Structure 1
């Protein structure tokens, strides 16, 4: 009898635990929370990466709450994972690179950016210090092991674009998914990758410790245009088109919070921004985190709008690197919208 009771009690506890996990992580499609606020779940392709900083900053500043939203931010390895979870209906929105919306349209799926967080990638191709003598240009990456956060991620897309400009096809290198932060650094130290595309503060950690050197810098709009031949709007918040069309009031509240956050960023210093972030994001070095933020401060959109000419420039890169996209007629007007940012800024 005691054994049976223990079994029933264990089953009940397991069921309650699963219910709590699902309620925290699953997409609620704009359902009302207990506090009367609309609940939204947003999967972010790496919360501690500075390119995704506006997501946590909006929450820490209380702007989601002020907009009447109960937002759960879910950390994931890359924007690719976020895209998949949004499509599956497991989360309401994702934060990842804008180019995903173009890729999905080519695959017959509707996803659109509702607010642009970064107007440049905020990434860099970093070469291992051990290989610096052999790798001095992108052309020297041929045949090398190149680190990316995840296969199919924005970091891989950017690397493929740089390789294409140097006349190297993606099958002439070896892509290795190594994540970011500590896992990326370990992969370079262990010699598993010769170079790789990564973000801040990982870039500054690598260069400061003498582990790697920057080969191509995409941390400013100017250096990005020089490397890719034009602007390259990167991290955004995307949602399924059908969700956007059927939840306009909720989407507007969300975009209002993000636009308010972008304006806050551009009226505060790197030190003030850093003070708002969780301490564990500093990776044990707050001063380096601040320096890294200063290195790419210009990537953050001042108003959340898609920059003029940005979609066309990204599509141009996609056409050069992705046969699946080039073979389709892409309607860029369906990959993003400024409808909500226009209202938020007015």
Structure 2
């Protein structure tokens, strides 16, 4: 072979090697989460880290259970589970933490996402009415025409409110939903008269009650009160992922679920004060004892094992079919909206 021909082939060889390297790199990133410093890197978007209903997310991080499973998890705080759902679908994060009903609504829209571990077996929420309105608003029936606060439009808080309204014959367009967030922004909206009532979580509920600016109209903070108010079991916060992601990376999902199930078992073997001690101080909103009391009153909402409770999906679907026009008339495969495969193995 001539020197000239060798020279001509060398650039082509280099180009082929570069293209192969690029293809390999692209294939690696597309195949799943990256590994850095021996840890699998995951991003989880949470619909409000400081809300007690989302407590297992940060607690798992603080207890070191993610790390024990070989995971380096970044928890991203967002206003609600609705935002988390959008980011999971877009592939911007690996998982989201929000209400289970999102998976049903997405399937009705032709998209697939499933809960891989159930964190809460009841909503842990309450419909709060402003004290100044309490004389006129004595039941859900009195909410017609009122300004009702929700975390954000499309959130689990709006879904729960819609279900309550449907039970008394009030359509969603007969009230005014106002996105007001949670915590300080929800309290300010109640104080300033921007909302007459609203659905919110702990510790915001206890802060409102302690200040006297609001009262509980409907209590969904335990499985028992939820059953009484809604007429059935209503599993709420979970960790959801795209179905295709789960099927392609079962080993990673199992590690993630293992970590969460360890946390759920830890919760049920410790007191509310011991749990609160593990959380960031700013979660207490300036009153740790109030935080502890609120947590104690709703410890029963946390799943003992991460499994979807029997009958829960069926009841949530029935409420969606009755009150959500986007789900009505749609064929929903509930088996594709959640899985107990990983929690069963973790337990």
Q: Match of 2:148, SS?
A: strand
In the other structure, the counterpart of 1:187 is: 189
Which of 153, 156, 164 is equivalent to 1:154? 156
Deviations along 1:277-323, whole A, 9 cap, x unmatched? 00000000000000110111110000000000000000010011112
1:28–1:39 CA contact under 8 A, matched in 2: no
Which one of the candidate residues 142, 164, 167 is aligned to 1:165?
A: 167
Q: Could you say what secondary structure the match of 1:197 adopts?
A: strand
- Checking the alignment, whether the CA contact within 8 Å between 1:30 and 1:250 is kept in structure 2 is no
Q: In the alignment, what sits opposite 2:70?
A: 68
Looking at structure 2, the residues matched to 32 and 151 of structure 1 have their Cα atoms a distance apart, in angstroms, of 33
User: What secondary structure is seen at the aligned counterpart in 2 of 1:292?
Assistant: helix
1:252 aligns with 2:264: no
Match of 1:14 in 2: none
SS for the counterpart of 2:59 is helix
**Is residue 30–residue 39 contact of structure 1 (8 Å, CA) maintained in 2?**
no
- The Cα offsets for residues 195-231 of structure 1, whole Å up to 9 and x where unpaired, read as 0000000000000110100000000001101111100
Residues 105, 299 of structure 1: alpha-carbon distance in 2 compared, 3 angstrom cutoff: same
**Which position in structure 2 is the counterpart of 1:293?**
295
Residue 34 of structure 1, CA deviation: 2.5
TM-score by length of 2: 0.91
- CA 29–62 in structure 1, closer or farther in 2 if over 3 Å, else same: farther
Give the length in aligned residue pairs.
319
Distance in 2 (CA, whole Å) between partners of 1:146 and 1:31 is 40
Name the structure 1 match of 2:55.
Answer: 53
C-alpha change, 1:91 and 1:29, in structure 2 (3 Å) is farther
Given the alignment, which residue of 283, 304, 309 partners 2:306? Answer: 304
Q: What CA RMSD, in Å, does the superposition of the two structures yield over aligned residues?
A: 1.0
Q: TM-score, normalised by structure 1?
A: 0.91
- The aligned residue for residue 98 of structure 2 is 96
- Seen in structure 2, the aligned counterparts of structure 1 residues 134 and 71 have a Cα distance that, compared at 3 Å, is same
Counterparts of 2:225 and 2:62, CA distance in 1: 31
Structure ID, larger Rg:
2
Match of 2:263 in 1: 261
Mapped to 1, the partners of 2:196 and 2:31 lie a distance apart of: 43
Cα distance change on mapping 1:187 and 1:277 into 2, 3 Å? same
State the alpha-carbon separation in 2 of the partners of residues 255 and 265 from structure 1.
Answer: 15
